[in-house]
Amino acid sequence: MTAIETLIDILTLEPIEVNLFRGQTPEDERRHNRIYGGQVIAQALMAAYKTVQGRRCHSLQAYFIRPGDPKAPVLYEVERSREGKSFTTRRVIAIQHGEQILNLAASFQVDEPGFEHMFKPPAADPPDRVPTDAERARLAGDDLSPHMKELVARDFSIEMRRLDPVNPFKPEKAEPAQRVWFRASGDVGDDMAMNQCVIAYATDMSLLSTCARPHGVSWMTGVQMASLDHILWFHRPSLARDWHLYVQDSPSASGARGFNRGAIYTESGVLVASAAQEGLIRQRSKS
């Protein structure tokens, strides 16, 4: 099974009871200490979608409460908060070992016409002219261990190409902004719920690192980093198999928290989503 097929599989939640669903973590991710946050967001959004018909998610807000255990399944309990003429609201609680690990609120809307405007994307080299992480690893020489080179070269469900890369092992101070091309590594079909869930999964991948850039640190240099919340707005439909430019900045860091924003454009320059996230960024104690 390819990585993207595995992602589709774990997003195809198991129904347990009315408003109750079960999700799993991929086998090769269970050796990690915690579940990747984007996975829990995507599964929670899919659980909400299982209780909604004929409407598309336009916004979600999630709070990470506890680290997820990748070796245990996650239960997703959906609360049907509101059924309106135009909008539907859902609240989802992700549970492991009897405790909440995430709660998410999502709003869905019927398709309707309205006023339109958007910011234009910044200039960026097209994705076919930007090296992949695996290609950069091959150029890194002795900076990466054989294990890390093997890790970045493996099959990923999301392909990422960084226009403003920083070496996480030897980070240098940089502007609190970055641009990343991303897309699903295979076709996930045309179902809008699945496409939104895959895009939501991808948006947690690089956003938090933006606030570390001006300080010349990374999660590989003894800094503790973890997502605290994640907000996502879907402005227009988009297919995860297509390239998206993720334009990120970090306006502020204080109180051991970093604030990050992201704008997501199609390759043709259409703004399809926006993201915001605050995360923990704390120097680990050396004692």
Residues 137 and 82 in one domain: no
Distance from C-alpha of 41 to C-alpha of 234, rounded to nearest angstrom: 14
Q: Is 86 exposed, middle or buried (0-12, 13-18, 19+ CB in 10 A)?
A: exposed
Residues 134 and 261 in one domain: yes
Q: Is 116 inside a domain boundary?
A: no
- Indicate the residue among 110, 142, 158 that finishes a domain: 110
Longest CA–CA span in the chain (Å) reads 60
Note the pLDDT of residue 98.
Answer: 96
Identify the domain containing residue 168 by its residue range: 127-287
Q: What is the pLDDT of residues 70-111, one digit of tens each?
A: 999 999 999 999 999 999 999 999 999 999 999 999 999 999
Q: What is the pLDDT of residues 173-222, one digit of tens each?
A: 999 999 999 999 999 999 999 999 999 999 999 999 999 999 999 888 88
Contact assessment for residue 76 and residue 13, using Cβ atoms and an 8 Å cutoff:
yes
Residues 69 and 141 in one domain: no
DSSP string, 225-278: EEE-EEEEEE-S---TTS-EEEEEEEEEEETTEEEEEEEEEETTS-EEEEEEEE
Say which CATH number the domain at 51 has. 3.10.129.10
Q: Average pLDDT for residues 24-48, to the nearest whole number?
A: 93
- 3-state helix, strand, coil split of the chain in percent (to 5) is 25, 35, 40
Q: Is 207 inside a domain boundary?
A: yes
Q: Which structure tokens are listed for 176?
A: 């609190």
Q: Which structure tokens are listed for 32?
A: 């990690």
What is the number of domains present in the chain? 2
User: Rounded to 5 degrees, what are φ and ψ at 231?
Assistant: -120, 140
Residues 95 and 132 in one domain: no
229 has catalytic annotation: no
The pLDDT > 90 percentage for the chain reads 83
**pLDDT surpassing 60 at residue 287:** no
Q: Which structure tokens are listed for 276?
A: 């915001």
43 has catalytic annotation: no
Q: What is the pLDDT of residues 210-257, one digit of tens each?
A: 999 999 998 888 899 999 999 999 999 999 999 999 999 999 999 999
Report the interhelical angle of 3-11 vs 192-203 (nearest 10°).
Answer: 110
227 has catalytic annotation: yes
Residues 137 and 105 in one domain: no
Question: Among residues 218, 227, 238, 248, which one is catalytic?
Answer: 227
Residues 43 and 104 in one domain: yes
Residues 248 and 135 in one domain: yes
Q: How confident is the model at residue 31 (pLDDT cuts 50, 70, 90)?
A: confident
- Indicate the residue among 110, 138, 171 that finishes a domain: 110
Q: Is 60 inside a domain boundary?
A: yes
Question: Among residues 204, 206, 248, 274, which one is catalytic?
Answer: 204
Residues 280 and 142 in one domain: yes
Residues 135 and 105 in one domain: no
Question: Among residues 39, 196, 238, 277, which one is catalytic?
Answer: 277
Residues 167 and 240 in one domain: yes
**pLDDT surpassing 80 at residue 154:** no
